[in-house]
Amino acid sequence: MNNTQTMPTPRIATMAEELVGSEIIKLAGEIKEKIAQGAQIFNYTIGDFNPDIFPIPEELSAAIIRSYQSGETNYPPANGILELRQELSKFIEKKQGLAYHADEFLVAGGARPLIFAAYQALVNPGEKVLFPVPSWNNNHYTHLSRGQQVFVETTPENNFMPSANELKDHVQDASLLALCSPLNPTGTVFSKDQLQSICDLVLAENRRRGPNEKPLYILYDQIYWQLCLGDVKHEDPVSLCPELRPYVVFIDGISKSLAATGVRVGWGFGPAHVINKMKAILGHVGAWAPRAEQVASARFLSDEAAVDRYMVVIRKKASDRLNAFYAGCKDLNEKGFAVKAIAPKAAIYLTVQFDLIGKKDANGKVLANTQDVTAFLLDQCGLAIVPFYAFGASRDSTWFRLSVGTAAMTDIPIVFQRLESSLRLLS
């Protein structure tokens, strides 16, 4: 037998074999390679923060250090330390008007384990999960739970937020409705009327099912809610429709509002019977937030003045960058270029359209699809942003996510100078 002969790869679990890799990670690899080769790339792909621009609160940083110095290094309780859950209960009631007991909170190592646990707790293999696209990772979480994906592609006319009318034909046999507001990747939010209509739809469906049938649950990811800009108001299902309380699981955390993506403190809250099962699932996985970070987060959140001071600063930094990019896109549009943007509402994302399919670059190459447009922006303009197809939208969507968490204000004029110069060469 020839030892150099290629052997077939042994089979593994079908779920793992069919799991699709992240389009964003693939794009990140291309960007790193270009930077390594000396290219100047303005990388606005990742939903993260440059800590030199967006540092975490000084009080939180100091509290983490003190917690480690005082020996807070043991296992935390499976549902999170009581001090933090009590502070979260008070914080959510004061800021959102939602009354949830500390025992209805579950703390984990960021939002991702909580979303995974919610899917595992609420979705049986083969059941349908309904979610709008573009949206972040619902397709992958559905796959991990062995569910069936039912996605509804949203439109720019609705700021890429789903409407009850778009969802109504799919709720009858769905197990879970996954929603996010403010929305990753768009930075847009539900209006009160939009969300109220969806709440009414879910309530009607659960009344139709009756008490003996498994209800339709809502997973409501509000991780960006504290980053609403200006007079934009965050809406949530339970505040609008208290009858929905038994069917809504919230996802939240400090990752985005405190620019603390690497600190890994997230929480979910909702009906106790669901939260307790999520706790059991994560107890087997061991996806706890580190104890020291939990202690520090509890102490920081208890300091209302420090929290409010920080939120003023981070919102202004995010708003300044989002508005600068939006103004630049408007300027390009007014000059006749096929560039549009949706006015920023929240989070750290701007929704931008580069409607360039069919154009020819300076070398005569036709931009035949969105992948070509993405490559043109990266190669010719030095601009790295994420196409909406990475978030489940159609492959021919011409819309992109631009993330400002790593953007220096001084770089933004340079980005638009390079964009305009490169766009002028298209024909």
What Å distances lie between residue 199 and 23, 170, 209, CA to CA? 32, 14, 15
Q: How confident is the model at residue 37 (pLDDT cuts 50, 70, 90)?
A: confident
Residues of the chain with CATH 3.90.1150.10: 14-54+309-424
- List the single range of 23-37, 171-185, 392-406 with lowest mean pLDDT: 23-37
One-letter identity of residue 167: L
**What would the two tokens of residue 230 be?**
């200006």
Q: Given a cut of 60, is residue 237 above it in pLDDT?
A: yes
Among 14-23, 27-36, 230-239, 358-367, top mean pLDDT goes to 230-239
Mean pLDDT of 39-43: 91
Residues of the chain with CATH 3.40.640.10: 58-303
Q: Given a cut of 90, is residue 39 above it in pLDDT?
A: no
| Confidence at residue 305, expressed as pLDDT on a 0 to 100 scale | 98
One-letter identity of residue 425: L
- Three-state secondary-structure class, residue 382: coil
Alpha-carbon gap, residue 212 to 182, rounded angstroms: 34
One-letter identity of residue 290: P
Chain segment 249-269, per-residue pLDDT in tens = 999 999 999 999 999 999 999
**What would the two tokens of residue 174 be?**
């769905």
Q: H helices of 148-191, where?
A: 164-167
Question: What is the CATH architecture assignment of 58-303?
Answer: 3-Layer(aba) Sandwich (3.40)
Assign a CATH topology to domain 14-54+309-424. Answer: Aspartate Aminotransferase, domain 1 (3.90.1150)
The model's pTM: 0.95
Alpha-carbon gap, residue 317 to 120, rounded angstroms: 37
At a CB cut-off of 8 Å and minimum separation 6, what does 271 contact?
Answer: 104, 245, 246, 247, 248, 249
Place of tokens 């080769």: 37
Q: How confident is the model at residue 2 (pLDDT cuts 50, 70, 90)?
A: low
Mean pLDDT of 356-368: 94
- Which of 57 and 5 is assigned the larger pLDDT? 57
Please classify residue 427 by burial: count the beta carbons closer than 10 Å to its beta carbon, then call 0-12 exposed, 13-18 middle and 19+ buried.
Answer: exposed
Q: How confident is the model at residue 176 (pLDDT cuts 50, 70, 90)?
A: very high
Element (H, E) at 312: helix 304-334
Q: Given a cut of 70, is residue 4 above it in pLDDT?
A: no
Q: Given a cut of 80, is residue 133 above it in pLDDT?
A: yes
Alpha-carbon gap, residue 331 to 123, rounded angstroms: 46
One-letter identity of residue 88: L
Alpha-carbon gap, residue 260 to 254, rounded angstroms: 6
